[in-house]
Amino acid sequence: MVAAVILAAGSSTRMGEPKLLLPLGGESLVRRVAREAAASRASTTVVVTGANRIAVERELAGLPVTLVHNSDYSLGMSTSLQAGLAALPPDIGAAAVLLADQPLVTRGVVNALIASFEDSGAPIVRPRYKGEAGHPIVWRRDLFSELMSQKGDKGGRDMLRHRAAEIVWVDLPHAEIAQDVDTAAEYELLRAAVEQRPPEFSHHHEKSHGEPRFCPACGAALERCTVEGKRRPVCTACGSVFWQDPKVAVAALIPWGENGSVLLGRRAIDPGKGRWSFPSGYVDRGEDVQQAARREVLEETGLHVDIGGLVGVYSAAGHPVVLIVYMARHVGGAACPGPEVSELAGFTLERLPDMAFQHDEKIIREWLAIQRRGAARQ
């Protein structure tokens, strides 16, 4: 079995702010990498934290990952690599090591490397992007002890040089996958490139689940072809069809204050940046829907809630998101805006602010109608 180890401990000295928390396509850099690794064929995913530990751990809430803290992160990348490898179960045969500041690495890339390792049994498997060596790198378990002896900020750099003849290469066509983020200029270029992609998946309460570009089976590029009467992404190498299932999102309406107000947050990211909406987000694979609603509320507001009755289920023709909206009740915690929300406030239904999404006001009106019907029955 092959595990994924994500190095997310750096202090972002060149950036001047915690770069792993920066938004890209609707979610932070570190969450993008962890989500893709967790959805890959890796049997387990370990994320090594260091600087900004609490904020990074909060970004990863709800993902099926194991968190390991490296208190010696200031001594260099090698210490984070060692902490991640030490946390792996004994039945792991290899580790795919990912860098959390390379947010365009997909599950397809990880899967292609794992498949190559399984086929070859090589001690090191590494990708080349249009001829340029890159990450992630798969290391066979018998090399772990040598990796554990590395010092400073080199990681496995010296080993890659000394063992160059032992590397099996996986050639991938898109060089931009290897792009990392070290400076503000690099981040702005990457964000501009991501935001210019076709907005097919951008819709109500969607956190920009971008157009798939690489095959989840082999990592090759996808192209749109007509399959069963509809244009679908098809792998240019193995011919696999990427079937695009609906994306499920949840939202919670939380009464706030004594005057019939509802709690809203001003969005700090696109879509809807600067406008207001209620706590919402995607349901992770294998996650209970109501659990997802509680998690999203906690991530965006700092509040613990009980989930009550259903307000409604919303979808629109031609769009991939199915939104499930619940009523919720505050049972603990103090209101504190999360990374995707700049402020929180209660608003009466008669004086709603500029709402972020086209269905928000309709959902609140339907919630109000449910409350009125309940009051009438009492």
Q: For residue range 249-303, what is the model confidence (pLDDT) as tens digits?
A: 999 999 998 787 899 999 988 778 899 999 998 888 778 999 999 999 999 999 9
Confidence of residue 215 (pLDDT cuts 50, 70, 90): low
Q: What is the mean pLDDT of the chain?
A: 84
Catalytically annotated residue among 132, 343, 350, 361: 343
pLDDT of residue 197: 46
Q: Does domain 247-377 have CATH number 3.40.50.9100?
A: no
Mean pLDDT of 200-211: 39
Distance CA(68)–CA(91), nearest Å, equals 18
| Alpha carbon distance 117, 44 (integer Å) | 16
Per-residue pLDDT, 195: 62
Cα 293 from Cα 300, distance rounded (Å): 11
Start-to-end CA distance of the chain, whole Å, equals 59
Instruction: Convert the pLDDT of each residue in 228-249 to its tens digit.
Output: 677 778 776 666 777 667 789 9
Catalytic residue check, 195: no
Q: How many CB atoms lie within 10 A of CB 182?
A: 14
How many other C-beta atoms are found inside a 10 Å radius of the C-beta of residue 376? 7
Structure confidence at residue 178 (pLDDT):
74
pTM of the predicted model as reported, rounded to 2 decimal places: 0.55
- pLDDT exceeds cutoff 70 at 48: yes
pLDDT one-digit tens code per residue, 58-93: 999 889 999 999 998 888 888 999 999 999 999 999
pLDDT tier at 204, thresholds 50, 70, 90? very low
Q: Report H helices in the chain.
A: 29-38, 53-59, 77-86, 107-120, 144-148, 157-162, 184-195, 289-301, 360-377
What span, in angstroms and rounded, lies between the C-alpha atoms of 368 and 360?
12
16 Cβ partners below 8 Å, 6+ apart?
184
For 302-312, what is the mean pLDDT?
93
207: pLDDT strictly greater than 60: no
Q: Say yes or no: domain 2-180 is CATH 3.90.550.10.
A: yes
Q: Where are the domains of the chain?
A: 2-180, 212-243, 247-377
Evaluate if residue 209 carries a pLDDT over 60.
no
Architecture (CATH level 2) of domain 212-243: Single Sheet (2.20)
> What pLDDT, in 10s, does the model give residues 124-168?
999 988 788 889 999 999 999 999 888 877 668 889 988 999 999
pLDDT of residue 199: 36
- Residue 202: pLDDT band (50, 70, 90) is very low
